[in-house]
Amino acid sequence: MSSSKRDYHADNQLEAILAGELGRQRDNLEMIASENFVSERVLRAAASVFTNKYAEGYPDRRYYGGCEFADRLESLAVARARKLFGAEHANVQPHCGSSANMAAFFAVMKPGDPLLGMDMSHGGHLTHGAPVSFSGKVFKAYFYGVRRDTEIIDYDELTRLAEEIRPKVIVAGASSYPRIIDFERFREAADRAGAVLIVDMAHYAGMVAAGLYPSPVPHAEIVTSTTHKTLRGPRGGFVLCRRTFAKAIDDEVFPGLQGGPLMHIIAAKAAALAEALEPDFIDYQRQILRNAARLATRLVDAGYRLVTGGTDIHLVLIDLRSKNITGQQAEAALDKAGITANKNSIPFDRERYTVTSGLRLGTAALTTRGLGECDMDEVADFVTTALQSIDDDTRLRRIREQVTAFCRKFPLYPGLDF
């Protein structure tokens, strides 16, 4: 142990990278809508000795000895997930959202079965049937999307497609759709098609937990999610389902798709779920929404068109076409200005996925840092000034200095070295 400790301290290369990332997170405005900052308690759990433990199987049914604490840990995380979302069953082992979706799909479909998901270019997720993903390769994927005039999901078309295709699964959920999804309409479409409804609530999980976004749990047989977006946990996934699907889901997660669960991440999930059960988590989620609404207003006032005209949730999607810049250029300029965000396709985009005409901005991470609505005005000004300066590196550098000074008013992990 002492020699490995000495080696660790001598690992200057690694230390520099870890310290660099902490510095980046501290000194930049984190606006990727799918990211957040976990609490120090969650961070500690993720870095705990559970990283050493193999625990293939489920509590009281493991393939390894020494699992008494692993069993207690996983049972605790499961109980918290069930309580938070009012679910009959929870599986907290998926390593990520993709694994959670894979488990859900394989639990109810065979290769070649028809799947109806949201078009990725309209806001849907890669794993909801995109041809480059397992979901589009293994299953026969069909897509619904948004209306051209309103950019709201075309529920009539969804129902028509469901009746025509009769998919085995309809999947609801999106990664860049700024409005509330009507899960009742999805249930209706699924019932007409005799399909299983799977809702991927990854982006909304925190707001669902706080009662500020309609819960998909009463409507869907299976609900999948990540833990690290608005829910503010470690990077990971989980599945909720009705009791009748519990065995199929558990069998697909392990041994179907995964081996040993990441017990340190399950510890961090348990910590985050406990935080989400606290009353102040509702205040946090409310503030995310207020901040997003304020950001939207400020951007619109500055002359930017937002997809659907605004937002009901934690993110906005800017249509950059009238500004004659691409999402790729916008992302690069913001990076130079110390603002971290991502290019994103907008509905009916003519640009490639690697270029895009949109920019997605989220408020979950900035809200964790303590920013309120007035601060969002300043953030919006940083963003719009940077977008007006994409070819002016000197100006972008100056914005970056201002952003760094601004960020230091909102300390992040003050006691941490890296």
Active site residues: 54, 56, 200, 226, 229, 235
Out of 28, 31, 34, 375, the residue judged to bind ligand DSN by CB under 6 A: 34
Q: Which of residues 316-345 bind ligand DSN (CB under 6 A)?
A: none
Q: Which amino acid is at 68?
A: E
Nearer Cβ to ligand DSN (97/117): 97
Q: Decide: 90 and 240 in contact? Cβ < 8 Å.
A: yes
Give the residue ranges of DSSP H helices in 170-320.
Answer: 183-193, 205-209, 246-251, 263-276, 280-301
Supply the minimum distance, in Å, between the C-beta of residue 159 and ligand DSN: 26
Sign of CA dihedral 113, 119, 121, 123: negative
Listed in sequence order, the residues at least 6 apart from 277 whose beta carbon sits closer than 8 Å to its beta carbon are: 80, 83, 84, 209
Alpha-carbon distance of 415 to 376, in angstroms, equals: 26
Q: Does residue number 227 form part of the binding site for ligand DSN (CB under 6 A)?
A: no
Query: What tokens does 20 get?
Result: 């660099």
Q: Which residues contact 132 (CB under 8 A, 6 or more apart)?
A: 126
Of residues 376-395, those binding ligand DSN (CB under 6 A): none
- Residue 200 or 375: the one with the smaller Cβ distance to ligand DSN is 200
Closest CB to ligand DSN among 99 and 175? 175
97 binds ligand DSN (CB under 6 A): yes
Only one residue has tokens 């910590």, namely 271
Site mask, ligand DSN, residues 160-179, x = CB under 6 A?
---------------x----
Least distance to ligand DSN, CB of residue 127, Å: 8
Rounded-to-integer distance, Cα 178 and Cα 289, Å: 11
- For residue 153, the 8-state DSSP code is B
CB of 123 to ligand DSN, least distance (A): 10
**To the nearest whole angstrom, how small is the minimum distance from the Cβ of residue 365 to ligand DSN?**
12
H or E element, residue 14: helix 12-27
Which residue type occupies 328?
A: Q
| 124 binds ligand DSN, rule: CB under 6 A | no
What is the rounded CA–CA span in Å between residue 385 and residue 362? 18
Q: Which is nearer to ligand DSN, 97 or 261 (CB)?
A: 97
Minimum distance, C-beta of residue 229 to ligand DSN, in the bound complex (Å): 7
The answer to whether 133 contacts ligand DSN (rule: CB under 6 A) is no
Q: Which sign does the torsion angle of CA 305, 306, 308, 311 carry?
A: negative
Q: How far apart are CA 382 and CA 28, in angstroms?
A: 12
- Minimum distance from residue 302 beta carbon to ligand DSN (Å): 24
Q: Residue 297 and residue 326: Cα distance in Å, rounded?
A: 22
Min dist CB 318 to ligand DSN, Å, is 15
Q: How many residues bind ligand DSN (CB under 6 A)?
A: 4
SS3 content of the chain, % helix, strand, coil (to 5): 50, 15, 35
The residues that touch ligand DSN, with contacts defined as CB under 6 A, are 34, 97, 125, 175
